Structure 1
Amino acid sequence: MKMKLSVLHAAILAAMLATSASPVQAGLPFLNSDKTEMPTLAPMLEKATPSVVHISVEGSREARQRIPEAFRDFFGQRGQGEQRQEQPFSGLGSGVIIDADKGYIVTNNHVVQDADKILIKLKDGRSFTAKKLGADPQSDIALLQIEAKNLVQIPLANSDKLRVGDYAIAIGNPFGLEQTVTSGIVSSLGRSGLNMDGFEDFIQTDAAINRGNSGGALVNLRGELIGINTAILGPNGGNVGIGFSIPSNMMKNLVDQIIEFGEIRRGSLGVRGGDVNSELTEALNLKVSRGAFVNEVLPDTAAATAGIKAGDVIISMNGNAIQSFNELRAKIATLGAGQKTELGLLRDGKERKVSVTLQELASGQVAANELHPMLQGATLNNSDKGVEITELAGGSVAEQVGLRQGDIITGVNRQRVANLAELRRILEGRQGVAALYIRRTNDDLYILLR
């Protein structure tokens, strides 16, 4: 009886039978246990799928409604054009267990943002309430933790070694359909431009990714994590064969910072520039068509210290090719402050390498409700005097308890606070009243969080 194989399986079978073909990266094929020589991904997936979890969230978000001029007096909004209300929401997504012993789960920030309750459901049917340890909205990564035994973690691959054409398998819960698996290939690398304010270095894949896949796993044929699925590009939010994943190396760099510091400490190179294009190549007689062109090196920065100059083209980072300025920006920012990296440069037609120790980018804001529910509506950032409230939503819980934009938290319950990591450690799991010691302009005061 003849069997109709999918395009992927047919390609796998051809690769197995062609004696002159070089082996693919994942060492195909996976065979059935009965040795029938039928290519299958089932043995790999049986090991990988228990590490992918279903996430459901509940919470509330501030909704703004435009009020017609004639009705503003009725709402007490004279002179204002909108009314703000808290509205409940719920949502679904996916996550990946990266540390079974500590219960660490990675997902997308947009899956759990503003969530008051995060419920994790494992493949074996067990359910747990998760705690959010930290998040980075600009790269769309969040780290959760559950207290559970007998978890299965996924091994991490080196995503810098990916090539266009490598097989890719997406595992997640699209539309709430738990443990759904789709297959495809890596369509492109170093994609950016979906969110101009974010740090993007996406893996593009044609493995079907739909709503609910967010935060799920993209794996290679060994069952190793190569990416965290995060976005789709298509009409009405449906799959058209263009999906995007955050590379596993980028995810790990961010998660390691959250675990160590309680926040993201972005790396900074200190250059301004743009992509290498055909016009630039012709004008400067460059020998490359891809890379990050350096227009300006800022003084007293990591780039200046390393000897990088305006006119240089950065073509590699730690031996891996750099395709664009956005790719360089994302890799530098997510690698982290204080980290060392080797950059490959093209200067005056000659290649050279420089070692750079990254400085810290003045960023790293976090939503304060991640630390305490009474801080909802405030955004915190490290300052040289403590933890500063850099933004405060009008009418928010944080404003109602007496906090103001520009306040600096310098202590909690007579314990000194120098940064976000210390504030998180003090507030984490605390019962009862937390007394914040606040510096406001030239005044000192206490604000109680109950």
Structure 2
Amino acid sequence: MRRTFSRSGGFSVLALVAAVPLLMATPAAAQTAQSPLPYDAERGVFTFANGLEQALPAVVQVTTLGSSSGPRSGDAEPRPMASGSGAIIDAAQGIVVTNNHVVEGGQKFTVDLTDGRIFEATLIGADKATDLAVLKFDATGLSQIEVVSSDTLRTGDLAFAVGYPLGLDQTLTMGVISGLGRSGMGDRIEDYIQTDAAVNSGNSGGPLLDSRGRLIGINTSILSGGGGGNDGIAFAVPSRIMNYVVAQLRETGEVKRGVTGAIFGSLNAERSRDFNIGIVRGAVVEDVAPGSSSERAGLRRGDIVTRIQNRPVSNAGTVQATIGIAAPGAELALVYLRDGHEGRATLQVQERTEQVVAAGSEVVLARGVTVHLNEGDLQVSSVEGGSAAAAAGIRAGDVVEAVDGGRVTSLTAFARAMDRRGQRVVSVRRGGESVRITLP
């Protein structure tokens, strides 16, 4: 069996367990000199505390205050409406990273430190597409967490989640990196780190740390079996995405994203058989908008992107996440398959324009919603993270029936109806019911 070791200096849980009996039989002095595991000779225990303790003072509790939705007593003072966690990444400026869903809708924000101090904070900016937000507060004597690249992570690396779950004080849990490049959990820019470190309500916005106490991601969500608690599957926004989003929010208060004109779908086993290829990981080019940078790069419908910026592509989420953190004008190197042959292209990210509709030969992209013909129906195949369509509640699988009360039965009619300024009311069929959705 092949043995793997962490590039960051940590060790797999299997290696740790296998080493414990040997180390227990070795004198303490020899363990200090020879042990591959963090060992406290004075106490005679194995521990990761030395590295992690440096990070813990920089993990804060974030409380969001806003107007109560219940009966009012005449007291107009904002009340606590949400609570989560955050990480100080710049002590000199008092910069805290947390989740957008922790601060969304809030009027005031407070930050609680581990030393018992509490401060009011200002929201610098938030990004719904990546579920990240940046707060700022003024204080002295702050600590900050070292941030390292998530691109060096390997499945099996130790991981530690820190936060304030379920009303408890600061809590540390340990697990491993269970997977990388996870997506498909919602209409967002997703390229998540998956971990089995226990993450629960209140951990949102807190850091995911490596075995040396360095930030590798921001905990954002869990996959629960229905009880709402931890089932050993949690997701974190990787530091690679966090760094880009935080820099933009600090500079301008918003994230400006470019476009490429290509519409991507995920490769799976069924589609792999349709393409008659021997891989099940990649992103399929569903369509290319005329005149777009993707068309100029030579991409065609049916191409399968296997690498982007020298990173392997797991699914459409990998490509969308890479484009989503690329500034307009950036050039992205692609490797793709076409008819069994490998090709290469350089895709330039274009600045997003005021164009409402992009129409391909078989797909229409309008205000973030992608529609294609499926057995005569205009079906939503995907929804762009952070778009007007995602915010309004349109879902993949919806069948578009009408726009502003007028029935649409073709892609051309849908594109024409959507290609106007102002609000559009889209009627969709969802699970046998008709739903009306207003797009701004």
Fold shared by both chains (TM-score > 0.5): yes
Distance 1:350 1:241, change over 3 A: same
Q: Distance in 1 between matches of 2:195 and 2:315?
A: 19
Question: How many residues are matched?
Answer: 330
Q: Shift of the alpha carbon at 1:136? A: 0.8
Match of 1:328 in 2: 319
Q: Shift of the alpha carbon at 1:168? A: 1.0
Q: What letter corresponds to residue 52 of structure 2 in structure 1?
A: L
Q: What letter corresponds to residue 104 of structure 1 in structure 2?
A: I
Q: Deviations over 1:249-276 (max 9, x none)?
A: 1111111111223211113222123111
Distance 1:106 1:278, change over 3 A: same
Match of 1:75 in 2: none
- The residue correspondences of 1:24-43 to structure 2 (distance < 5 A) are 29-32=37-40, 34=42, 36=44, 38-43=45-50
Q: Distance in 2 between matches of 1:268 and 1:320?
A: 19
Q: Distance in 1 between matches of 2:310 and 2:19?
A: 29
Q: Which moved more, 1:112-121 or 1:211-220?
A: 112-121
Q: Distance in 1 between matches of 2:191 and 2:169?
A: 27
Q: Are residue 230 (structure 1) and residue 220 (structure 2) matched?
A: yes
Match of 1:268 in 2: 259
Q: Distance in 2 between matches of 1:161 and 1:347?
A: 30
- The residue correspondences of 1:266-345 to structure 2 (distance < 5 A) are 266-345=257-336
Q: What letter corresponds to residue 47 of structure 1 in structure 2?
A: Q
Q: Shift of the alpha carbon at 1:148? A: 1.9
Is 2:85–2:164's contact at 8 Å kept on the other side of the alignment?
Answer: yes
Q: What letter corresponds to residue 109 of structure 1 in structure 2?
A: N
Match of 2:7 in 1: none
SS in 1 for 2:277: coil
Is 2:78–2:108's contact at 8 Å kept on the other side of the alignment?
Answer: no
Is 1:62–1:87's contact at 8 Å kept on the other side of the alignment?
Answer: no
Match of 1:156 in 2: 147
Q: Shift of the alpha carbon at 1:151? A: 1.9
Is 1:250–1:335's contact at 8 Å kept on the other side of the alignment?
Answer: no
Q: Shift of the alpha carbon at 1:15? A: 5.1
Is 1:109–1:142's contact at 8 Å kept on the other side of the alignment?
Answer: yes
- The residue correspondences of 1:360-375 to structure 2 (distance < 5 A) are 360-361=351-352
Match of 1:202 in 2: 192
Q: What letter corresponds to residue 306 of structure 1 in structure 2?
A: A
Q: Deviations over 1:213-238 (max 9, x none)?
A: 00001011121211101112223321
Is 2:126–2:253's contact at 8 Å kept on the other side of the alignment?
Answer: no
Q: Are residue 126 (structure 1) and residue 117 (structure 2) matched?
A: yes
Distance 1:287 1:348, change over 3 A: same
SS in 2 for 1:328: helix
Q: Deviations over 1:28-52 (max 9, x none)?
A: 522215384x321111111111121
Identity %: 41
Is 1:96–1:106's contact at 8 Å kept on the other side of the alignment?
Answer: yes
Q: Shift of the alpha carbon at 1:280? A: 2.9
Match of 1:22 in 2: none
SS in 2 for 1:255: helix
SS in 2 for 1:332: helix
- The residue correspondences of 1:51-70 to structure 2 (distance < 5 A) are 51-60=58-67
Match of 1:249 in 2: 240
Q: Deviations over 1:82-115 (max 9, x none)?
A: xxxx995522110011112221110001111111
SS in 2 for 1:114: coil
Distance 1:169 1:362, change over 3 A: farther
Match of 2:52 in 1: 45
Q: Shift of the alpha carbon at 1:121? A: 1.2
Q: What letter corresponds to residue 41 of structure 1 in structure 2?
A: F
Is 1:264–1:336's contact at 8 Å kept on the other side of the alignment?
Answer: no
Is 1:60–1:114's contact at 8 Å kept on the other side of the alignment?
Answer: no
Q: Distance in 1 between matches of 2:70 and 2:291?
A: 43
Q: Distance in 1 between matches of 2:339 and 2:13?
A: 48
SS in 1 for 2:40: coil
Q: Shift of the alpha carbon at 1:240? A: 1.3
Where does structure 1 lack aligned partners over 5 or more consecutive residues? 1-7, 20-26, 65-85, 364-389, 392-450
Q: Distance in 2 between matches of 1:353 and 1:158?
A: 26
Q: Deviations over 1:177-210 (max 9, x none)?
A: 2220001111122222322x32222211110001
Distance 1:94 1:358, change over 3 A: same
SS in 1 for 2:176: strand
TM-score between both structures, scaled by the size of structure 1: 0.67
SS in 1 for 2:55: helix
Distance 1:53 1:260, change over 3 A: same
Q: Distance in 2 between matches of 1:114 and 1:98?
A: 24
Distance 1:33 1:317, change over 3 A: farther
Match of 1:14 in 2: 18
Is 2:65–2:78's contact at 8 Å kept on the other side of the alignment?
Answer: no
Q: What letter corresponds to residue 314 of structure 1 in structure 2?
A: V
Q: Shift of the alpha carbon at 1:285? A: 3.0
Distance 1:356 1:330, change over 3 A: same
Q: What letter corresponds to residue 205 of structure 2 in structure 1?
A: G
SS in 1 for 2:301: coil
Q: What letter corresponds to residue 48 of structure 1 in structure 2?
A: A
Q: Distance in 2 between matches of 1:58 and 1:87?
A: 5
Where does structure 2 lack aligned partners over 5 or more consecutive residues? 1-11, 24-34, 72-76, 355-387, 390-440
Q: Distance in 1 between matches of 2:48 and 2:258?
A: 39
Task: Kindly report the root-mean-square deviation, in angstroms, between the aligned alpha carbons of the 2 structures.
Answer: 3.0
Distance 1:88 1:126, change over 3 A: closer
Q: Distance in 1 between matches of 2:273 and 2:173?
A: 43
1:359 to 350, 356, 361: 350
Is 1:160–1:320's contact at 8 Å kept on the other side of the alignment?
Answer: no
Q: What letter corresponds to residue 254 of structure 1 in structure 2?
A: V
Q: Distance in 2 between matches of 1:297 and 1:17?
A: 59
TM-score between both structures, scaled by the size of structure 2: 0.68
- The residue correspondences of 1:137-152 to structure 2 (distance < 5 A) are 137-152=128-143
